[in-house]
Structure 1
Amino acid sequence: MKRTTLTLGSILLLGLAACGSEEEADEVTIGYFPNFTHITTVIALENGFMEEELGDDITINTNTFPDGGAFMEAMSTRDLDVGTVGPSPATQTYITNPEHSIIAGAVNGGAVLAVRDGSGIESVEDLDGANVAIPTIGSTQDIMLRHELNEVGLTPVADGGTVNLMPQAPADTSTLFLQGDVDAAATQEPWGVFLENQADATILLDEEEFAWGRESTTTVVTARNAFSEANPEIVEGYLRAHIRAVEFIEENQEEAVSVFVDHIEEITGSGLDYDETLEASNRLNPTYEINEDVLQQMATISVEAEYANSDDIEGLVDYSYLDVVLE
């Protein structure tokens, strides 16, 4: 098994070469984020599950992305075949370009709503007039926050309301809390634990309470339809590796976190605190199951936010490859 890491420029060149009809492939490009909620992909790669399940004849290329928009753009331009992404970008892109499918779940939960010490915020209602950090506009945490705001009759400033949503890199949020520049943050782990330990933040809504709780779909496995149809064996091999990763994380929590922390330092040059990341792992629920009801609610919120012009996501979820693997 060959394994390479592609730069964004090189995958663009591959994408141009791939235009036209799909044929049986001897390589696959796997995408993911260097985020904790993508731990299933990291474990599947680092523990050799992908290599074992795909076999010696398939070359594995990997590429990391900073956000869901970049991930989905690469998939839409055939520069990416399969990988993990937040459900909101996958849903929003599907509305305008239904050329991909969600083929499995990856992580549920793992997101929290944290508030700054001294902010005076003790409930979601208290976010009225607050500055709230989110990873990016249209991100899964953006949609989860909007769900909470809807429940108490609040709306973002961009929609004529009073809650100011501020796109900020999660790694920068602790500094913004300490400076008093933001009052709260809707964020994924391990950044929630980091905010607690490094900025004395309070978790207003934990993974059991934020949005749909532990049923909140945080990360999903998404595949490009043309690639999947031409290469079902590769997609099924990916899913077998994914399921092995889910089981490994459940049975070997400390080792899985150690593998993840080492991987992130290797590819980014930045280290995560092991103990804090281990603490954060208790808020994640790795899975292969898909909650279509949550996906539909997310799609409807995206329309209300004018991130999409429809919430018709019929056909987005494709169980066929997972069903084969689970037989």
Structure 2
Amino acid sequence: MSSRSLRVLALAASALLSATALAACGKSDDAASASSEASAIRLGYFPNITHAPALIGVKNGLFQQALGNTKLEPKTFNAGPAAIEALFSGAIDATYIGPNPAINGWATSKGTALKIIAGSTSGGAGLVVKQGINTPADLKGKKIATPQLGNTQDVALRAWLKSNGLNADQQGGGDVSILPQDNATALQAFAQGAIDGAWVPEPNLSRMIIESKGKLLVDEKTLWPNGQFVTTHLIVKQEFLKKYPETVKKLLAGHLAAVKYIKTDNAGAQKAANEQLAALSGKPLKDEILAASFKNLTFTIDPIASSLYTSAQHAQDVGLLKPVDLKGIYDLGPLNDLLKADGQPAISDAAASS
């Protein structure tokens, strides 16, 4: 992919900012322009293939290229709650994160802490089980892992079990025993036969199938309209968005360039993401796992808002979330400004597809 192509969206952002700067002149305008540009932006993301746009944006310098004089300060996290805590405390300004931690952060702050500003990843999750488990009824009395109580995959499993007439309480009891445990523990437990399955995201889903001979009982794509549901999106601290809107637009321009790179040079994108994973964790994914994970994921700037609202309802239905008003959780204005400048259609934050 040419450097010119990678700069298209960043230049679109610059054009928008230039138009704003040319609207007035004089020292007062210079002061206003300076105040709307942050000297640095602290961006959170996870060393996980579902955060591939972030991995690539950092590795290939796409964020820094779009940000110009604003310094990118990337920070990594292993779980959504830790990233939300960092956002709350002011340790980071924006982060890639899953839907349920964003919902919880919105609810906890009563709608004051964050805004979802773009989509990043769809799909790539499901229920992997031992051979011989073929129906929901076969799960009675079985032990199934999820990454964390109340996280996105945990909610998905509980909602799916309920829809199939099975119950599971938060203490590990019920028809199916749900055991929240981190991904590394679940991978080992499944390989050793200590659990009967797990509802997990990529690359753990592919690892359980390829390395431990598991079978995919439920591909979560099949549970959603058009097979689309949000796995990862990009959020920003509201205070930062209000103070530095142009910096946020430039961050988004880098994000758009990363997603575009995945679509136009998938092999190069896989290589860059895996190299960044290796740099962060000390161990790259095996080529077979990497390829399977990328095939099972869709990288998109659309946050698939309707699936977020449905996920929140699922969490309420299984007793893991109190009723919450999500009105205003999205601010897609900056994203749609960039898309308009690039001749692309706007993206909606509607609760349901028309």
| Same fold by TM-score greater than 0.5 | yes
SS in 1 for 2:247: helix
Is 1:60 the counterpart of 2:72 in the alignment?
yes
Provide the alpha-carbon RMSD of the alignment: 1.8
Contact 2:123 2:298 in 1 (8 A): yes
- Partners of 2:226 and 2:273 lie apart in 1 by 24
Give the aligned partner of residue 96 of structure 2: 84
Distance 2:335 2:49 in 1: 23
* Native 8 Å contact 2:94 2:236 kept in 1: yes
Could you report, residue by residue, the CA deviation over 1:60-102 in whole angstroms, capped at 9, with x for unpaired residues?
1111111010011111111111121000010012112121011
1:8 matched residue in structure 2: none
Which of 104, 120, 124 aligns to 1:110? It is 124
User: Aligned to 2:221, what secondary structure does the other structure show?
Assistant: coil
**Residues 100-130 of structure 1: CA deviation (Å, up to 9, x unaligned):** 011111100011210023xx32123322222
Partner of 1:142: 154
Partner residue of 1:227? 240
Q: Which residue of 2 aligns with 1:180?
A: 193
Per the normalisation by structure 1, the TM-score is 0.87
* C-alpha contact 2:159 2:317 (8 A) present in aligned 1: no
Instruction: Decide which structure has the larger Cα Rg and report it.
Output: 2
- How many angstroms apart in 2 are the aligned matches of 1:225 and 1:174? 37
2:107 counterpart residue number: 95
Per mean C-alpha deviation after superposition, the further-off stretch among 305-314 and 45-54 is: 305-314
Amino acid at match of 2:331: D
Match of 2:38 in 1: 25
Equivalent pair of 2:36/2:247 in contact (CA under 8 Å): no
Task: Name 1:265's counterpart in structure 2.
Answer: 278
- 8 Å CA contact 1:214, 1:285 repeated in 2: no
Distance in 1 separating the partners of 2:253 and 2:156 = 29
1:211 Cα offset (Å): 5.7
Give CA-to-partner distance per residue, 1:295-320, whole Å, 9 cap, x none: 11111222234433223111111111
- Offset, 1:212: 5.9
After TM superposition, give the deviation of residue 43 of structure 1 in Å.
0.9
Q: Secondary structure at the match of 2:170?
A: helix
In structure 2, C-alpha distance between the alignment counterparts of 1:267 and 1:37, rounded to whole Å: 15
Aligned mates of 1:214, 1:243 — CA distance in 2: 22
Distance 1:216 1:124, change over 3 A: farther
| Structure 1 residues not aligned, in runs of 5+ | 1-21
Structural mapping, 1:289-308, within 5 Å: 289-308=302-321
SS in 2 for 1:199: coil
What CA deviation, in whole Å up to 9, does each residue of 1:265-292 have, x standing for no partner? 1111123212221122100000010222
Deviates more, 1:81-90 or 1:302-311: 302-311
1:200 and 2:184 are equivalent in the alignment: no
Q: How far is 1:207 from its partner? A: 4.9
The structure 1 residue matched to 2:184, chosen from 158, 171, 174, is 171
**What letter matches 1:116 in structure 2?**
K
Letter in 2 for 1:30: L
Using the alignment, how far apart are the partners of 1:253 and 1:295 within structure 2?
27
Q: How high is the TM-score relative to the length of structure 2?
A: 0.81
Letter in 2 for 1:240: A
CA distance in 1, matches of 2:226, 2:216: 14
The question of whether the paired residues in 2 share the 8 Å contact of 1:101 and 1:224 is answered with yes
Counterparts of 1:232-251 in structure 2 under 5 Å?
232-251=245-264
Q: Is the 8 A contact 1:261 1:274 kept in 2?
A: no
Report how many aligned residue pairs link the two structures: 303
Alignment partner, residue 319 of structure 1: 332
Pick one of 110, 123, 131 that aligns with 2:143. Answer: 131
In the alignment, residue 225 of structure 1 is paired with which amino acid?
Q
